[in-house]
Structure 1
Amino acid sequence: MFAIQPTSYGGRGCFASCDIPRGTLVHIASTPFTSVIFRDFRKEVCAYCLAYDLGRTWKVRLRGPETAGMWFCSEECRDRWVKEEDPSRELVPVLEVIEQAVALARRKLQNSKVTEYDEDFVHDDFTFQTEAIESLWKHIDSLVMSTSEIDNPLRNPALKNRVLALEDIEYDSARLVAVAIVRLYLESHNTAIVPWFSWNGFADLESHESDLINRLSALLESHIRVFVFLKAVMPHKFQPFVTIANVRAVLGREAANAFGIWQLPLSSESECLGSSIFPSGSYFNHSCDPNLIKTRIGREMHFTTSRAVREGEEICISYGMMVTMPVQARQDLLQEQWYFRCGCERCMAELGSEA
């Protein structure tokens, strides 16, 4: 029904391979490559179907002592998550390790008598130039490999507690990255349990790491903490995949390719409950006059034509709830959150009329 092809303005997009009537479901992204329910909402959002009932806490947890930081609206959802998302039984132990490590480190840090020490990897005089960022990452890599208790943050007890006691935004990022690393590990071992995409398909998406750091420089510190944390806690068999390149790959692609997990029914008052990456859905580019509507149905993303589409026409979604905004406000929002200036026909016409 559509094919992924190069666009005239750079990158790739989805183009209709035939005439498509209005109201046609052209694609279903069945489950995310990686996703996270934000820590603030994790007890209130079903980890499988993503149901959210205005702050109601779900009661169903995983069986046994493992909780892995997930709640479910029903036993059916719990069982379906285990069957569909973790048939190898590799993912739950990793998420449980993260859960326990953060909780323990926070308790230790709270009880620690150490009140002052150098806890930042990114210092106040850091320049945030590309060369400096690359040099810093190399330095971080050497630190975590060091046998010195002074240099290695994971061998210094006080600093280790601070590194492992992640802030909530870092905790969310660590879970997002950890799921992707488990997927990569399973794929590398030729397991046939991830049929919907591959790491290469995910890594083929564009990274916006530099744009994100330029806009929010404090995130460089957070990203480094996520890497160091995962080097400290991920089980041994996953460690070859916990590399700086892989951690940066996930966080850089999440920056502009993620679909927010929004409270439904969707409105301007909806809460953003989490983040998910559907690689196949990320090839639909943005237009301020979209011909495709994206709708979350449970944990799936459905893409349906909002009008008839001609053969050869690019199929586009709107990245956010902005179609009613003035053109300059749309341009500013897209630049701030998705790092591009929109050149769709509607924007060009409206910008031309303002000239």
Structure 2
Amino acid sequence: MSLLEISVLPGKGRGYRATSDIPVGTVLHVSEPLATTLSQEWTPETCLWCFDFAYPKKQKTKAVTEQEKLALSTQWSVAPKHLSFKDMLFCSDTCKSSCQTSLQSEWLPTLAMHYRLDCEFKNTCNLPTVAAPIEPEFSKHIDLNNDEALSTWLNHAWTCLTEHLDIHRDFDHTDMSMSRLIAACILRSQNSQHANLPPFHDLLVIQNNELSHFRTHFNASLYPNHPQQLPLHCTKEVYLSMMPDEVLDVMALYCFFARAMTKPLHKVPVNAGITHDLFRSIFFRERANSFGLWEMGNDEVANATGGVSDDLELLGFGIYPSAVYFNHSCDANVIKVRDGRSMKFISRRMIDEGEEACISYGSVDEDVRGRRQRLLENYHFVCQCTRCIQEDLIIR
């Protein structure tokens, strides 16, 4: 019998609850990733599959051998000297073989997507799109707090603004890591029949944070006569003027990604299934639901902090659909510890039958105001855990 069950919790939505008394140190759950990505700064030293960290040495097994490179060169009509997969390395032939076996038919498209992203990153225009201020017409408007209306408004805005893939901004290595994670998810959506990895539809049950993201960043004070309103009909210029910079940044990332995946590039396979709807469905679920893949710490560190401390490096991120039902607490009763590609969840103390099983979302060393501010900005909720409520009462 499973130690955890998914329950609807008052004020929290769905979450894991203990089905029996659970002793300290018990492995409650093991989750496998739907998709992972490496942090760009640690790509030479980190295994693409198991996240073995070899710093200061580089990983030794290349994703593409010289013989394989020659075959791809002929197939894609790209000179061998221009075919580079320097950011795709493995700690061993065993890990490379495990990756290829698990991905099956996704392996070659993965190589193509990585190559296309690298080429677009080198050639992209880094001049940001600038919007001139325009006073919108509010004769017909929608309520910013109406989920259905706002979703429709955003769909129209995305279609209008990204039609020609011409929104630009500066891109950095973090954007490349995110692009590779989205690419892996898209390949999962197109090959969900594989039994070796979680199916793409597991991602879609995760909360989509797009509306919360927009409301958090939309500056309603710019339109004091129309509080919590958006004009119903907008031109491209009006959409561009009203859109928060943080949303335009996501649109620019989509344009970069779609250009990379679809524009002609010798005979490198394109991915014609790229749409802003698909991109957004992944991006705004990943934002508050992915897990950091940290350098492995020693047992003492893992037991105390869930495998994360200031002297460990963040090697990448992964989407673990079955793990998103662990809600947050600043005094968590569960820690998460990476074991290769897997994420283990271990009871930190005795958990009673019926008690919610919670983890901490990031560091909880700040005071209650600092913790709540960080959680609101990154996860879109005000923490009401027992620790926060008690500390808040002391401050007041």
Query: Structure 2 CA distance, aligned partners of 1:172 and 1:227?
Result: 15
Distance change >3 Å, CA 139–CA 118, structure 1 → 2: farther
Contact 1:60 1:74 in 2 (8 A): yes
The code of the aligned residue for 2:158 comes to W
**Which residue does 2:131 correspond to in 1?**
123
Query: Structure 1 CA distance, aligned partners of 2:394 and 2:278?
Result: 45
Shift of 1:22: 1.2
The structure 2 residue matched to 1:75, chosen from 81, 86, 93, is 93
Q: Which has the larger radius of gyration?
A: 2
Distance change >3 Å, CA 118–CA 33, structure 1 → 2: closer
The structure 2 residue matched to 1:26, chosen from 28, 34, 57, is 28
Secondary structure of 1:6's counterpart equals strand
Distance change >3 Å, CA 199–CA 104, structure 1 → 2: closer
Contact 2:51 2:341 in 1 (8 A): yes
Shift of 1:199: 2.1
Shift of 1:174: 2.1
**Aligned-residue identity in percent:** 26
Secondary structure of 2:29's counterpart equals strand
After the TM superposition, which residues 270-289 of structure 1 pair with which residues of structure 2 at under 5 Å, given as runs? 270-289=312-331
The superposition leaves residues 298-323 of structure 1 with CA deviations (integer Å, 9 ceiling, x where unpaired) of 1110001011111111100011121x
Secondary structure of 1:36's counterpart equals strand
**Which residue does 1:3 correspond to in 2?**
5
Query: Structure 2 CA distance, aligned partners of 1:10 and 1:179?
Result: 30
Query: Structure 2 CA distance, aligned partners of 1:328 and 1:41?
Result: 33
Secondary structure of 2:7's counterpart equals strand
Instruction: Say whether 1:100 aligns with 2:115.
Output: yes
Secondary structure of 1:283's counterpart equals coil
**Which residue does 2:263 correspond to in 1?**
232
Shift of 1:38: 2.1
The code of the aligned residue for 2:388 comes to C
Secondary structure of 1:21's counterpart equals coil
The structure 2 residue matched to 1:310, chosen from 329, 335, 352, is 352
TM-score by length of 1: 0.80
The superposition leaves residues 25-75 of structure 1 with CA deviations (integer Å, 9 ceiling, x where unpaired) of 010013x11111022221111011101133321121124216654111122
Query: Structure 1 CA distance, aligned partners of 2:213 and 2:313?
Result: 22
Instruction: Say whether 1:201 aligns with 2:240.
Output: no
Query: Structure 2 CA distance, aligned partners of 1:74 and 1:139?
Result: 47
Secondary structure of 2:370's counterpart equals helix
Secondary structure of 2:318's counterpart equals strand
**Which residue does 1:147 correspond to in 2?**
none
After the TM superposition, which residues 319-330 of structure 1 pair with which residues of structure 2 at under 5 Å, given as runs? 319-322=361-364, 324-330=365-371
Distance change >3 Å, CA 309–CA 222, structure 1 → 2: same
Distance change >3 Å, CA 225–CA 122, structure 1 → 2: farther
Distance change >3 Å, CA 284–CA 103, structure 1 → 2: closer
**Which residue does 1:222 correspond to in 2?**
253
Contact 1:102 1:166 in 2 (8 A): no
The code of the aligned residue for 1:335 comes to L
The structure 2 residue matched to 1:258, chosen from 284, 290, 309, is 290
The code of the aligned residue for 2:101 comes to K
The superposition leaves residues 182-239 of structure 1 with CA deviations (integer Å, 9 ceiling, x where unpaired) of 111112xxx3424x53322211101223444655343332233223433437945x52
Distance change >3 Å, CA 354–CA 141, structure 1 → 2: closer
Instruction: Say whether 1:299 aligns with 2:299.
Output: no
Query: Structure 2 CA distance, aligned partners of 1:257 and 1:274?
Result: 14
Contact 2:116 2:261 in 1 (8 A): no
Secondary structure of 1:311's counterpart equals coil
More moved, 328-337 vs 253-262: 328-337
Listed as ranges, the gaps of 5+ residues in structure 1 are 110-116, 145-152, 154-158
**Which residue does 1:134 correspond to in 2?**
155
Shift of 1:329: 1.7
TM-score by length of 2: 0.72
The structure 2 residue matched to 1:169, chosen from 165, 171, 174, is 174
The code of the aligned residue for 1:341 comes to V
Output the aligned Cα RMSD: 2.9
Distance change >3 Å, CA 21–CA 124, structure 1 → 2: farther
The code of the aligned residue for 1:303 comes to F
Secondary structure of 2:48's counterpart equals coil
**Which residue does 1:114 correspond to in 2?**
none
Contact 2:47 2:90 in 1 (8 A): yes
The superposition leaves residues 133-179 of structure 1 with CA deviations (integer Å, 9 ceiling, x where unpaired) of 433311256436xxxxxxxx6xxxxx9xx89x964333222211111
Listed as ranges, the gaps of 5+ residues in structure 2 are 73-83, 136-143, 145-149, 218-245, 298-307
More moved, 325-334 vs 129-138: 129-138
